[in-house]
Structure 1
């Protein structure tokens, strides 16, 4: 029997086939971290100057496709934004905030008070009153300028030693532990709607975690506003600390605060003396043995990296009700600070995207966890 299609029906079928093909094409080209994890937590990245100024079209496209949260890598640290006592430099910070607003992203400020990357004049301060004046002026000016525009601030960064005691920074030496409460109170006054975080590395480890919990409890008992804790997540593919990470998520969350992973990366290279953490003041001499993959990352190491990220994101999904954000510390491997720390001029591969902004096995492993959902 011969079937004759009416013209309207014929074109309707063709249109439906075209629409299905178009939708399939769009879905295959809309795969992204932020869409895959949109019901779980924010997915962020750290932006360097080239990204803020949109100088790299390939990276810019990747950022906008994959991430819905941004953190400034360096340009809001005090040595950059407040280089002299009575002079601020807001040019790049303004552009960073504008970038986030334009692309409807969560904007995290990093960081208001940190012992490192301070302006030179701060290191010369010798009195408690002068240091208080710096803190008051700095936080009021910086946090105040962006009040209502920032979603969160890393108020105090890396205030603890590995054993959980207070780091002997210039702030601690002149002001004692009270400088932390002072910083949070000043930030809350300057930008009352922003979430306020304490940020540090290795605070998933028991001793340092205990110190962080004690510090947060003191702030809460005093009535100081603290909304969350940032676990940096500078780890090695040769470490297996999943239990410690889960314990940290649960213990920090039990304080009634949010948990964010703020600076996530996995080094694939060895560190001197099995160094752990992210103390930027630690640097070592170059050694060929410490730069094993100068030309390319072996497939077996790429698989190990992918497995580490997969295990980590399985844990994140298990605890998604406690986690507010997961931010990678860099857009791609070429942008990572781990190419220059703790040994300069190395070739590291710690992120989900390679130097050409192409997805790696690690990216596929993280995305695979959400396939079919």
Structure 2
């Protein structure tokens, strides 16, 4: 079990897990098919579901019916590589008609692109009035590592993950892109905390540090593809891609450094040499490491009634492993068990719906919305 580095305490490494045992007592139901390369999902107050398509489309799932939703006024969408229209959230206070819709996206060109947060209004037929709330800086080139997940916190602020910009030899300015994760003058490789209007949230812990950008919440991240919050405790987790091996789940706390690329459990893609060290004093250790990489994607904290034994567990989608991993905790928040739900398709997102059920999106040209139910 990992411990956090602190004065006088030696940080302990984490034992990577390859493939946990299979979970039992569940089965899959297909809710909807034909979703074009779905990436993120968010429920409206009336129970209908909005799903983003990576190429810039938006879809409304109502029961088994899928309707295409017009999105008016997006900035220039960049869809090469890992870029595109990414995550989506509905403002938690908007319970009536015309809710505010938040989406993350890659914007720009192959030579200069960045992760952007936009907001629009859904009037039941279209999302319009789109405005850019936040633009990550600095810009980068290429189509790698945009992040980007968003989650609203209990205080009304939101967290937004930004990828580090890419693998070597990818550079941003005068440094390797991945070294941006240790640069407090960059948004890349960080989690940001913003107000619902896209401004730096008051009280961000790095704001007073010399040269630090005021939006920074935590640094040292490679490419976070899942983020979830416990609505009761407020605790936040993130799932993060390692390079060759070393995918992580971290407990996210403001002001902390999660190590990348100085601390990691992965290997460089080209040299196959370790990237950094597994333990670096002063940097936060992950609570879970998966080697080989799962291609960790969407993340959900389960509080539903359908699976009582699963309550208080994290569920992490796997792109490479085509599965969902359950991570169970004890009362002190320590990892005590892991299980694997074999899906057989790349899992892009995992969320708990308002009905208390778990849902997953498959990462395909014509993807599916799946529901996990008791067998």
Q: TM-score, normalised by structure 1?
A: 0.30
Higher strand share: 2
Higher helix share: 1
Give 1 or 2 for the bigger CA radius of gyration. 1
